[in-house]
Structure 1
Amino acid sequence: MRNARFGIGQLVRHRLFNYRGVVVDVDPRFMLSEAWYQQVAKSRPPKEAPWYRVLVHNAVHETYVAERNLEADPGGEPVNHPELGQYFEAFSGGRYRATRRSN
């Protein structure tokens, strides 16, 4: 396994579907079911590379995306998503800052 290219709070763009979003979680490898992979991951991205949960801009859903299908979003504009407040407390310098959680 290699290091993830993107981090939590980073703005990304999907290379194939051209939507923007913000990373809310990073898995070091594919962590969903084989059935999901067969049905949804049509381009068959590698399972052993990082995968990301992304809140999609101007939508109410999130996606699970292989690293090879993402690129950094150069625009630096905030994302509009109803669940942003569950993950982040601020947006500054083109990046979201994660909410501090108490144990």
Structure 2
Amino acid sequence: MTRQSVAKFGLGQIVRHRDAAFRGVVIDIDPSYAGDPAETGEASPDQPYYQVLAIGPDGGFVAYTAESALEHDPELSALSVEAERRWFTVDARGRHAPLAHAIH
């Protein structure tokens, strides 16, 4: 039987990593780990995995992260206005999406 999971976070949502202390925006979601399950370490491969565009003082990077390692980030001000303009479109509800993708 195939197990289906529902993603806790959506495209354009700002999240933070519980351990690595980075903040970022969800730019893609896989229903489960897209690589070799042995590479996930302690994280279960049978949960959603997110590509998160993290913005830091030295620029940005994309992290591929298990849902269990992420939490909602209520501090939307983590992104500067300059970073928002450079990387995202923002809708009236404050959801962020990469410039190349429309917000649904």
Both structures adopt the same fold (TM-score exceeding 0.5): yes
Q: 2:47 aligns with which of 31, 36, 49?
A: 49
Q: Which residue of 2 aligns with 1:2?
A: 5
C-alpha deviation, 1:77, in angstroms: 1.8
- Cα 1:50–1:91 shift into 2, 3 Å: same
In the alignment, is residue 16 of structure 1 matched against residue 19 of structure 2? yes
SS at match of 2:68: helix
Q: How does 1:1-103 map to 2 (within 5 A)?
A: 1-32=4-35, 34=36, 38=39, 41-42=40-41, 44-58=42-56, 59-77=59-77, 79=79, 80=83, 84=87, 88-90=88-90, 92-97=92-97, 99-100=101-102
**RMSD after superposition:** 2.7
Structure 1 residue identity aligned to 2:52: V
Structure 1 residue identity aligned to 2:54: V
Cα distance in structure 1, aligned partners of 2:19 and 2:27: 20
SS at match of 1:5: coil
TM-score (norm 1): 0.74
SS at match of 2:77: coil
User: Unaligned stretches of 5+ in structure 1?
Assistant: none
SS at match of 1:2: coil
Count of matched residue positions in the alignment of Structure 1 and Structure 2: 93
C-alpha deviation, 1:11, in angstroms: 0.2
TM-score (norm 2): 0.73
- Cα 1:94–1:75 shift into 2, 3 Å: farther
